[in-house]
Structure 1
């Protein structure tokens, strides 16, 4: 996918990492164990509004190319007005950085929704972790969504360290037809998100666990191209917009001690992710006693991170500029645990 490689290469160019180098003596160097790095991202600004990125080599069952073109891709500080006023933004800071590190399973803790730190990964396992700036406990942090207390006030990112982001996809699914999806996000942060990976000897495969926290003041989804026929005025664009205000997602995939996220590839090249039933059988296939199953279930439902999907206000046919549309109000799924999940990619 040459277009995707170009996108990633461009992202690396505009995401400089700055750090202050300090001189260390021999005694200080002796205490460095090489576990990982911490970093912040300063002066990020990505503006691809004047160019297009094409992703090819995605084919349907008949072997026909299904091109995807990416337009109007931007990352900038808040207040961009859907990409019309782009300014650089700093993400993370030295006191609350991003981290890429190795750690032992017993040392990597997860913040539960009730503010309690718990161990989710197995003991005596070396784990690779990519971690976003952490949420805070014990001190007053920042509102995770400005003006929306339900999202919490324990985020470390300040308002000036949040992103406005947008992208438009053009899909040519059928000859002579182009389907459009335009996405604009206001005040996006992902504090507390992480990805952890390790090798499972009993299963003989790569496993892991992930926590994806997404906090956004506003998300607009639109299915027409601004300025085109039937999409030129504010009203026409509003009629084709789905708006999510004060929205957050806490998506938990995997609980390493008893339900790690499994990664696999089938013989025909399809990707598979699976969350096994935590109390069925051990990783080596052996059966568990009733007492073992009960202990695992009690631990899983007490300590495993839960999934929350909360939309403070959902409206269709109104982008906040003009009147009309339909207001669906607050929508939420809260405290959800995934007992079993298996997802497989398919050819189009």
Structure 2
């Protein structure tokens, strides 16, 4: 590990030890003292774990109250329509609740993370995860566990030993770690504010998700590896009016699974900002083999060993692939059955934002 990366890891470890010491200060008598240079050299990046117990959250609404005042809201502006009208996107409501919230109407508490498997902010030794000689900053949800001790990611009645998710469903005696999540967005174009989009997910689980960041050498850009797992027994989308007076057909997706993988140690995700201030997300195309690197029969014995191992790891590793499935998809009263996409491998991706006002 490079000296600057080791120093960063040590500083995070020092911060973690200090935070832990502060947490114990209420019960232990003693003074906190700084670490010497030699003591700091022995500290490894231990990271920070976060658990939120009895948590619930509800962001307000843009509807005026009895006094005519509007709550504080989250709004995105500065956008123009093709005919020159101002466009703004307003998040009127966002909620995180425990089970059976009735789309956010009845907020209850939920636990986010477990003491034995918390949310984590950590500095990893890149050599342990295939990213050579780098310190890697990781933001991670609770990790997946073995199927002998975990819970089915979808079932609201799952018991231990039924799946690989650490987060437990709610029971009559326990509030669980699976949240009802939803938000209502309004898209205004000029004076027209009739367009509303509402999204609700019941008993959502994102175990196994993480974002890893490190500094790239070849392109001098920030590099990332992003894994997003999202499991919900019911995901719904509708375009109801803000006051609920009218609704178009609601889209229901039961047993919704998304396991999205973007970037990896062999083909990382690059993050950058171009000269115009626009955000750039790029996954470069995997390099083609040089002439003679891979034998005509495709076997390792007739190929360059390092090159063959590189492509074998890239194409065979399930962690590099994305999966999507829906148990049942319906729109209003029409049922379209199930859908599944398995083993998607992102060969190349390039996303660039653009200022539509220019």
Deviation at residue 178 of structure 1 after TM alignment:
3.1
Q: Helix, strand or coil: the match of 2:314?
A: helix
State the 1:139 CA deviation: 2.7
Please say if 1:168 is aligned against 2:160: no
TM-score by length of 2: 0.74
TM-score (normalizing by structure 1): 0.76
Q: Corresponding residue for 1:130? A: 139
Greater C-alpha radius of gyration: 2
Partner residue, 1:247: 256
Secondary structure of the structure 2 residue equivalent to 1:298: helix
Aligned mate of 2:78, from 52, 55, 58: 58
Q: How far is 1:289 from its partner?
A: 4.8
Gaps in structure 1 of 5+ consecutive residues: 1-18, 109-120, 232-236, 318-324
Q: Deviations over 1:208-233 (max 9, x none)?
A: 1010000111111001226545x1xx
Give the root-mean-square deviation of aligned CA atoms.
2.9
The 8 Å contact of residues 46 and 74 in structure 1, kept in 2 or not, is answered as yes
Question: For 1:181 and 1:191, how far apart are their aligned partners in 2?
Answer: 26
Change (3 A) 1:288 1:58: farther
Distance 1:265 1:90, change over 3 A: same
Q: What is the CA distance between 1:248 and its match in structure 2?
A: 1.0
User: 1:107: Cα distance to partner?
Assistant: 2.1
Task: Please say if 1:87 is aligned against 2:108.
Answer: yes
Partner of residue 310, structure 1:
325
Unaligned stretches of 5+ residues in structure 2:
1-21, 62-70, 170-175, 295-303
| Alignment partner, residue 56 of structure 2 | 45
- 1:270 equivalent to 2:278? Answer yes
Structure 2 CA distance for aligned equivalents of residues 20 and 125 of structure 1: 31
CA distance in 1, matches of 2:257, 2:72: 30
Q: Assess, with a 3 A threshold, how the Cα gap between structure 1 residues 57 and 71 changes in structure 2: closer, same or farther.
A: closer
State the Cα distance separating 1:246 from its structure 2 match.
Answer: 0.7
Question: Hey, what's the Cα distance between the residues in 1 that align with 2:351 and 2:157?
Answer: 34
